[in-house]
Chains A and B, each alone.
Chain A
Amino acid sequence: MTSGQLGISRTMAGAEREVRVSLAARIYIGVVVVAALAAAWRAPVFEPTPPAGRGQPGFPSTAVTHPWAALAVLMALFLICDSARAPLTSRQTKWSPSSSATLAAAVLLGPGAAGLVGAMSLVSLRRRLQAEERLFNGAMHALAGIAAGSAYVAIYDHVGLPQAGHFRMILLAFAAAAAVHVLTNHGLLWGIYRLNRANPVLRAEMPESSLALLLASDLGYASLGLVIAALWAHLEWFAAVIVLVPLFVARWAMAQFAGEQRAYTATMNALCQAVETKDYYTRGHGDRVSRGAVMIARQIGMSSARTDAIRFAGMLHDVGKLGVPTQVLQKTGPLTEDEFAAIQLHPMRGLEIVREIGFLYEALNGIMHHHERIDGRGYPMGLAGHEIPEFARVIAVADAFDSMTSTRSYREAKSIDQAIIELRRGAGTQFDPLIVQAFVAALAQVGWERPGPAGAPIDLATVTVQDHDDPTAPLQVVVP
């Protein structure tokens, strides 16, 4: 986290992202804090135990024997869960199940106590949190706790150790409380994202994690709150400890998953680089095309699974070039028809290599058809218009753009503006106009990092003399 950025944490499921806070967002945080204070003002810390026989026989006194001790244990549980975060699917999204502590407090002690437990976010053990973040997190979780506790009391009308025989009612009340907690938590977070919408960094990061998964794990871990409450009658404080075990195992597995995923991406990058070492000028091409394709994918609102797939498709789109003989790639003059055919075959060779990887089918399509043209004059199959798979249309634009903005042996790199003009010129004939438009818009927001000027080629590398990706200098073929 660099200075000047804030991490607004979504501790419920625990997503955490870095957000630059705008003025509107600051006002919003202020409103949330005031609302939390107002709610806390009205809620007593411990719900008074209803006098026996309050017109509801069968509700024996079930108050927790040492409420302050219970509160302290649950606060500690919240802090531990809050501090032990694991990365979820992306670098920015972190995961932790502290909501179970808040909801257990709502069941055992009442809305006020749930609010107090949630407010522990203020003193989160995570370092590098700034005052605004702590304030917002604390207020958000306090509000969510109070709201959930109130929902529980509204339905079950009773706070304390859950009793056998009332379980259906308790389950119903708890489900309502969990739903209210999730809604409050995500609703308040959604507000802060909404107010920071102008921030391009945030926009780019939003689609990365899947909301469905977050909500599911939220609700899953929320139900542990009820388990803690149920165990309290028998095991007291040990209930909190034993419930932590499966949580931490799950967290461990998630961390392993994230580690493997990072390793996977790194290995993939290294292998792609190895493929590119064969050709001096196209080094980093796959990586940049991949980035460009992801920019477009986000701009046109692709789902996160498809975005991941297109990232890999972009990286690997030219892997089949390895099957093209070196002397063809190095040839200076016009190509014979056979040589041109060898180049035209490279998408198929690429497909051959990656076919067995468990990719989405679409990624394979993207690799195979990335040299098709909208007017039907492309290769290998001469598809036209919307016959061309969406992935291929996206990769084609990113591919041509990177080729034009990189240095080649026969010309200098074009500027970004020149390359955009070329893309626009090709829109409708070579490229899908909508994709070009989306790419130009994404470029304006995110920017583009051009490869550094290429130095002198070193000994081992071969040098492409004609770039098959360059739309401004099409391959010259000898017409017999």
Chain B
Amino acid sequence: MTSPRTRRPEPDRLAYWQAMDSGRLLLMGAAAMLVTASFAVSGVLIHGHLQSQVDWHAAFAFGGFVAFGELLRLALPGGREAAPIAMVGAMSYALLLNEPNGPLNNPKLPAVLVVAVCAVGMTVGALPHIAAGRPAGLTGMCSRLVAVAGVAFIFRSVVVGFLLKNGMWELELAVMAVLIFFGWLIDTVIGALIRADDVGALFSVALVDEMQLQWPLGLAVGASVIITVFSVQVLGLAVLIAFIGPLLVTQVAFRRYAGIRATYLQTVRSLARVTEVAGYVEAGHSRRVSRLAVSVGRGLGMAETELLALEYAALMHDIGQLSLVHPIPGGATVLVSRADQDRIAELGSDVIRRAGVLDEVAELVRCQAWPARGHDPAPPLGSRIIRAANAFDDMVGSSTDRDRSAVAIDRMRLDPVGYDVEVVDALRDVAGRRVPSRL
């Protein structure tokens, strides 16, 4: 995160940045208080009436499981990080049932002990990351801990007594499913809040994105928690070893998925530069346009899947120029005739359509030169954004001069037929702050 240190931020922007930091601080403060309180109360309980009743084997086994899971974090698309295995360990420990004659020796496992054990496990698992110079991932850890604590407090203080009296497995299962969903919801909402602040997206949009991205993994985690809780009841703690295999396979599948998405984006980013190397456009043009376009799209409330298509389209918007025998001077498509602009757009769109998998992107590229109003059919929002971002970059380039960008914006505002007014306003906001916006 590069804060705008070089320029004095405007007052309302300052408030915005402050709000972002305080959201994170609030979360970390809550987690820290939770952990401190849990340790204090656990200490009192262990020295008091729980003295002989804590099952240290279970505490070590689940703490170790959490640490292992935290060690094997998973990068998800969009620069997110998850720790599904740690979540399985922590949730299972929170929902562990106390069987009167079962192998576990913990008739009363208090919620505070669950929180304390999970906190230690997560910290231990994060240490190797810190030692290797990777980010500690404190936000994610805090979010997971808060979710687990919520589930543990409800289950341990309210539900567990009732379940032990009852004893039907169908009921146990239903209660667990509801609580696991609740925990997932806490984690997802926190994730969406943080992300909305980080990238400058609307919270409602960020929440939907987050849910769409997290539900498959959440489902796998939830089912794994139920499986773990029941089989630990039957076979004891050693069964945890048998889970590591399937969980790892699931994790590998997700890792490969996230990996190929990252490579894909990287490749398109790099190959979009062929127009620059070939001298058709100014150096850095496609990347700057794509960054601007994504920021503007986000400001206008576009969802993450739409933003990905927009980013691809913005990166490749000039690819049609490769078919021109003679480069346009400076590559500035804003200076050539409408008919030529449309022809370049069509050629580029054909290239992209040939891939067979990026039809949405091809459509955005095809309509990029159409005026915002009066064209039939009307260009999609993504194309209007690319048109504005492209024009802005053709006029301003890599310059960070505020006057120059203000002039460019004013020029576009004078042409409400050519450029969507809403898009230009969003562009003005974005150009003023230059938030790094990558997917």
Contact = CB atoms under 8 A, between A and B. Distances in A.
A226 B257 contact: no
Interface string A213-257: 100110111111011001101110010001101110111111011
B17 interface: no
A443 interface: no
Contacts of A190: none
Interface residues on B, range: 35 or more
B250 A249 contact: yes
A171 B238 contact: yes
B98 interface: no
Given A164-B103, A245-B219, A275-B322, A358 B263 contact: yes
Interface string A352-371: 11111110000000000000
B226 A164 contact: no
B273 A353 contact: yes
A261 B253 contact: no
A217 B173 CA distance: 28
If over half of A's interface residues share one DSSP class (helix, strand or loop), that class is named, otherwise mixed; here it is helix
Given A242-B226, A260-B264, A356-B270, A267 B245 contact: no
Interface string A260-285: 11111011111101110110000000
A249 B254 CA distance: 9
A257 B271 CA distance: 21
Contacts of B268: 267, 271
Interface in B325-378: 325-326, 351-352, 354-358
A181 B233 CA distance: 28
Interface string B402-426: 0000000000000000000000000
B224 interface: yes
B336 to A, nearest CB: 16
Given A227-B243, A277-B323, A263 B358 contact: yes
A254 B264 contact: no
B277 A274 contact: no
Interface stretch (A37-45, A319-327, A336-344, A376-384): A319-327
A355 B358 CA distance: 24
A141 interface: no
A151 B224 CA distance: 28
Nearest to A226: B242
B278 A322 contact: yes
A275 B261 CA distance: 23
A479 interface: no
A345 to B, nearest CB: 11
A149 interface: no
Interface in A128-159: none
A275 to B, nearest CB: 6
Contact of A253 (B253, B267, B325, B351): B253
B246 A164 contact: no
22 contacts: A219-B245, A221-B245, A226-B242, A242-B226, A245-B219, A246-B224, A252-B216, A257-B253, A257-B257, A260-B257, A260-B261, A263-B357, A263-B358, A264-B260, A264-B264, A271-B271, A271-B274, A277-B323, A322-B274, A326-B326, A357-B266, A358-B262
Q: Which 10 A-B pairs give the minimum distances between C-beta atoms?
A: A245-B223, A270-B355, A220-B245, A249-B220, A322-B278, A220-B249, A253-B253, A263-B357, A223-B245, A250-B250
Interface of B: 102-103, 169, 173, 216-217, 219-220, 222-224, 226-227, 230-231, 233-236, 238-239, 241-243, 245-250, 252-254, 256-257, 260-264, 266-271, 273-274, 277-279, 316, 319, 322-326, 351-352, 354-358
